[in-house]
Amino acid sequence: TLLHEELAGDEVLVVSNREPYLHMRTRNGIEVQRPASGLVTAVEPVMRACSGTWIAHGSGSADRDTVDRFDRVPVPPANPAYTLRRVWLTKEEEQGYYYGFANEGMWPLCHIAHVRPVFRSSDWDQYVAVNQRFADAVVKEARTDDPVVLVQDYHFALLPRMVRNVLPKATIITFWHIPWPNPESFGICPWREEILEGLLGSTILGFHTPFHCKNFIETVDRYLETRIEHEASTISYGGKLTQVEHYPISIAWPENDNADKPSVAECRASVREEHGMPADHLLGIGVDRLDYTKGIIERFQAVERMLELHPNLIGRFTLIQIAAPSRSSLDEYQNFDARVRMLVQRINNRYSSGNYQPIILKAEHHDADSVIRYYRAADVCLVTSLHDGMNLVAKEFIAAREDERGVLVLSQFTGAARELHEALIVNPYHIEQSADAVYRAVTMPDVEQRERMRSMRSLVKDFNIYRWAGRMLLDAARLRQRERIMTKIR
Ligand code: F6P
> Ligand 1 center to residue 199 CA distance, Å?
19
Mean pLDDT of 70-88: 93
Q: What is the pLDDT of residues 438-466, one digit of tens each?
A: 999 999 999 999 999 999 999 999 999 99
Q: Is the pLDDT of residue 65 over 90?
A: no
| pLDDT for 475 | 93
pTM of the predicted structure, to 2 decimals:
0.95
Residues 75/65, Cβ–Cβ less than 8 Å: no
Mean pLDDT of 268-288: 98
> Ligand 1 center to residue 316 CA distance, Å?
35
- Please give the angle made by the CA atoms of 178, 364 and 349, to the nearest 5 degrees: 105
> Ligand 1 center to residue 109 CA distance, Å?
15
Share of the chain above pLDDT 70, in %: 97
Residues 126/155, Cβ–Cβ less than 8 Å: no
Q: Is residue 93 classed as helix, strand or coil in its secondary structure?
A: helix
Please list, in sequence order, all residues whose beta carbon lies within 8 angstroms of the beta carbon of residue 15, skipping any fewer than 6 positions away.
54, 55, 56, 134, 137, 138, 149, 150, 151, 152, 156, 159
| pLDDT for 256 | 84
Cα gap 86→17, rounded to integer Å? 10
Residue 48: burial class (beta carbons within 10 Å; 0-12, 13-18, 19+) = middle
**Nearest ligand 1 atom, CA 289:** 11
CB-side exposure of 439: number of CA atoms within 13 Å? 18
| pLDDT for 24 | 82
Rounded alpha-carbon distances, angstroms, from residue 282 to 219, 319, 358, 438, 440: 46, 9, 10, 11, 12
Q: Is the pLDDT of residue 420 over 80?
A: yes
Question: For atom 9 of ligand 1, which residue has the closest CA?
Answer: 37
Share of the chain above pLDDT 90, in %: 87
For ligand 1, whether the C-beta of 38 sits within 6 Å is: yes
Q: Name which of 29-33, 137-141, 214-218, 379-383 the model is least confident about.
A: 29-33
Mean pLDDT of 253-258: 88
Strand partners, 300: none
For ligand 1, whether the C-beta of 326 sits within 6 Å is: yes
Residues 160/175, Cβ–Cβ less than 8 Å: no
Phi, psi of 274 (to 5 degrees): -60, -30
**Nearest ligand 1 atom, CA 291:** 12
For ligand 1, whether the C-beta of 141 sits within 6 Å is: no
Q: Is the pLDDT of residue 333 over 90?
A: yes
For ligand 1, whether the C-beta of 294 sits within 6 Å is: no
Mean pLDDT of 133-161: 97
> Ligand 1 center to residue 364 CA distance, Å?
16
Mean pLDDT of 142-161: 97
**Nearest ligand 1 atom, CA 103:** 15
* C-beta atoms surrounding 454 within 10 Å: 13
What is the pLDDT confidence band of residue 487, given thresholds at 50, 70 and 90?
Answer: confident
What is the pLDDT confidence band of residue 63, given thresholds at 50, 70 and 90?
Answer: low
For ligand 1, whether the C-beta of 11 sits within 6 Å is: no
* C-beta atoms surrounding 399 within 10 Å: 23
Question: For atom 11 of ligand 1, which residue has the closest CA?
Answer: 37
| pLDDT for 3 | 67
What is the pLDDT confidence band of residue 68, given thresholds at 50, 70 and 90?
Answer: low
Average pLDDT, the chain: 95
Q: What is the pLDDT of residues 355-369, one digit of tens each?
A: 999 999 999 999 999
| pLDDT for 358 | 98
Phi, psi of 189 (to 5 degrees): -70, 120
For ligand 1, whether the C-beta of 415 sits within 6 Å is: no
| Peptide bond before residue 147 is cis, with ω within 30 degrees of 0 | no
For ligand 1, whether the C-beta of 192 sits within 6 Å is: no
> Ligand 1 center to residue 289 CA distance, Å?
9
> Ligand 1 center to residue 84 CA distance, Å?
18
Mean pLDDT of 63-83: 83
Q: Is the pLDDT of residue 1 over 90?
A: no
| pLDDT for 451 | 98
| pLDDT for 482 | 81
Q: Is the pLDDT of residue 479 over 90?
A: no
Q: Is the pLDDT of residue 8 over 80?
A: no
Q: What is the pLDDT of residues 184-207, one digit of tens each?
A: 999 999 999 999 999 999 999 999
Q: Concatenate the DSSP letters of all residues of 16-27 into one string.
A: ESS-S-EEEEET
* Nearest residue to 47 (alpha-carbon basis) of 59, 57, 55: 55
Residues 351/358, Cβ–Cβ less than 8 Å: yes
Please list, in sequence order, all residues whose beta carbon lies within 8 angstroms of the beta carbon of residue 343, skipping any fewer than 6 positions away.
297, 300, 301
